[in-house]
A and B are shown apart, each in its own frame.
Chain A
Amino acid sequence: MSLKIIVLAKQVPDTRNVGPDAMTPEGTVNRAALPAVFNPEDLNALEQALRLKDANPGSTITMLTMGLPKAAEVLKEGIYRGADEGILISDRPLGGADTLATSYTLAQAIKKVGDYDIILCGRQAIDGDTAQVGPQVAEKLGLTQITYTEEIISLDKEAKKIVAKRHIDGGVETVEGPLPIVVTVNGSAAPCRTRNVKRVWANKNREFTVWGAADIEADPMQIGKAGSPTNVKAVKSIVFKAKENKTLTSSDEDINSLIVELMESNTIG
């Protein structure tokens, strides 16, 4: 039976390959030095979506991303791998959003898409590392959520039931949930398949639908800066510098002196 699948994806600076010029002297992220990439765990989510599509012929995958016009690149990357549609949510008033405003915006866009069985996204993005957006989207849509998912074991559209394996401390647990549902996918899930040549050639010049704040009927007070209660007080560039080495033996004396030193520097205690 065919499924309507939505995948949420984010374009992020590639913080996995950080060079010495990743931060500006002012302590902000030097975006020019970090190439923009498809958020890695969103790729894991896309692979789960593609597997659902493979197993349920006739299914469609719609990708949603919020960001600058350049973020449409992740939509294209998704199409290259097998997604069917991509919608870019991009508008000046949406800028500066924290996770609350972002999830509100995405939830509004999902409402506009309307027809869906499952919403998949990565557990978290490598730039913010909050893991909040997926769960907040579920809350705003009033849907059940399965987080930290490693594998969707089965999905029965008729019975409106999904069974998934999720990653927990020290093991995995298998859970069941109702459809529609929000599933956030962990980095330990299967890696995403590669781009397909014919899809790349056919879609390399593709343009995507862009939705602004008005298109998704967003409340101006709940989007962008206005809708973001989080305030960044300061961003500091902390550079760890190697200092002199200290060699400690396993004697009680050395261990005691180390504990005292760590307590004095407020590292512990």
Chain B
Amino acid sequence: MANSYTDVPEIKFHMEHPLMKRIVELKERNYADYGQYDYAPKDFEDAMDNYDRLLDITGDINANIIGPNSEDVDAEGPHCENGRVRYASKTYENLDATIKAGLCGMTMPRRYEGLNLPNVVYTAANEIIAEGDAGFENIWSLQDCIETLYEFGDEDQRRRYIPRVCAGETMSMDLTEPDAGSDLQSVMLKATFDEKENCWRLNGVKRFITNGDADIHLVLARSIEGTKDGRGLSMFIYDKRNGGVNVRRIENKLGIHGSPTCELVYKNAKAELCGSEKLGLIKYVMGLMNGARLGIASQSVGAEQAAYEEAINYARDRKQFGKEIINFPAVYDMISRIKAKLDAGRSLLYMTARYVDIYKCLDDISKERSLTPEERAEFKKYSKMADAFTPLAKGMNSEFANESSYDSIQVHGGSGFMLEYKCQRVYRDARIMSIYEGTTQLQTVAAIRYITSGFYEGIINEYAQEPVAAEYASYAERIAAMFEKLKAATAKAKEANNQEFLDLCSRHLYEMTAYVIMSHLLLQDVQRNVDLFKKSLVVFMNYAESKVEEHSNYIAKLDVDQLEAYRQE
């Protein structure tokens, strides 16, 4: 029987990375839950076996329920009825399956009835479900908003809300408003304290809210009257059981049809404050967004996997000029590149997830006891690594998802343009990935400071110190040459001492950085599993070199004097 986990050995490969030992040890607090909960692992091997079984179940549900339902969900979509969302009928089947399987509260501690999974494993489940249906993955994966409530809510809120999410209730994060998209500082939804009822009241409108009729909402609202920037914003919890929020309409979108994108009207909706006032945007949303960005990175890898499978399966079957089209260089050129980007992008995704795991676990432990000096150093290191890698993983994979789904249609020829083929849905679904949770342009903004500060340079230098087997020495040299080009381009962009010029260069520097890092990661991977990655290493290195050369050349020719030619009026 088809299984989206066991059929893709690359996912398991990433679960078995050497850093897992440290991650699991931290996440499981040296296996302290064993004996207290019947489903807690007793040691590292036991935990890894549990993860494997969980992903096997996820792969089974995706291949046999979510994937097969995706076409109907896409065609039917959700509807707005009397201020509520009615999902596509098969979305309910998908939800029923994931809830009965217990794929809820994935990363939450066991004391709140969660599965206590590391982020890496949750990321893998996310990728698997996104391969089947990116729209449904949105609904399912919004459960990770609970991380923010866990991190910043009080114990009473944790006890009341987390078990509900672990039992399958859905979540949403209500941030965007008609006049506050990328610029969340402009959020105007009003929060006022109701002295009589001793609760907060929310009034206003939110727009583009994914799964906006969820059971539990995290809402960004302005609680300090008269303020205009991010410092007046706080985070609130709205419980649908209390009422007061209605869905005014559901957007009609290009893709991810299964996921209801809602316009919400808050009318005196009862809410409770999450964490401290005024830290809503500055602290909590930033945490929420980093988690969400990693989520979109894994959704993008799922879309890349879907694009790859659709392309290769079609090319194996389709015959033209007397042979299967997979045999034509013009066709396998496209498919090999889809696969190479997929392998490199996936490696970047899981490395990011590992960095996130280590710092988040240590952060959580620091609330139970003080960290040792070594742990504090470890926390600092990985926290910064995670912050630097997240925009790379999100931006690059979402762009790859778009490029690969485009190529997947191209492999199909005219058939790919017909709605009967899945590749067109993957293409439509992928389009939003490089936009929401921060456009690629905003990922570049998040990454550029690590480029100019030399932080990525330090990481690349560290990677370059990793031992390389003799047969791969030439690859290491080629990466070193790419790195030199990156350094030269960065130096040029900085030397001009002109912020606008640097901003104009930033996308190029961002991509060059990502290609150098992904090349290193793929080189590490191939040495752990030759069979899985030997082809992609060859193809990706050729591709990465050509991209680095392209950007290097662009920046070499770019000059401050040319800015006027770029400006648009």
Contacts and interface: CB of A to CB of B under 8 A. Distances in A.
Which size class do B's interface residues fall under?
A: 10 to 19
Which of B65, B101, B103 has most A Cβ within 10 Å? Answer: B101
Given A201-B39, A201-B41, A202-B38, A196 B53 contact: no
B101 A195 contact: yes
B136 to A, nearest CB: 15
Given A204-B49, A204-B53, A198 B102 contact: yes
B410 interface: no
Contact of B97 (A194, A197, A201): A194
A201 to B, nearest CB: 4
B54 A197 contact: yes
Interface string B37-55: 0111100000001100110
A197 B100 contact: no
Contacts of B102: 196-199
Contact of A195 (B39, B49, B57): B57
A197 B53 contact: yes
A193 interface: yes
Contacts of A201: 39-41, 50, 53-54
A204 B56 CA distance: 14
A201 B55 CA distance: 12
Contacts of A197: 39, 53-54, 57, 101-103, 115
A155 B61 CA distance: 30
A194 B41 contact: no
A200 interface: yes
B282 to A, nearest CB: 36
Interface in A196-245: 196-202, 204
Nearest to B42: A205
Contacts of B65: 194
Interface in A147-201: 193-201
B61 A198 contact: no
B60 interface: yes
A147 to B, nearest CB: 27
A197 B57 CA distance: 8
A197 B65 CA distance: 17
A217 to B, nearest CB: 34
Contact of A194 (B38, B39, B100, B115): B100
A79 to B, nearest CB: 12
B84 to A, nearest CB: 25
Given A193-B97, A194-B60, A194-B101, A200 B53 contact: yes
Contacts of B97: 193-194
A198 B113 CA distance: 10
Which of A198, A199, A200 has most B Cβ within 10 Å? Answer: A198
Which of B39, B49, B60, B103 has most A Cβ within 10 Å? Answer: B39
Contacts of A199: 39, 102
Which of A193, A195, A198, A201 has most B Cβ within 10 Å? Answer: A201
A202 B57 CA distance: 15
A200 B40 CA distance: 11
B115 A193 contact: no
A201 B61 CA distance: 17
Nearest to B102: A197
Contacts of B49: 204
Nearest to A82: B100
8 contacts: A194-B60, A194-B61, A194-B101, A197-B101, A197-B102, A199-B39, A201-B54, A204-B49
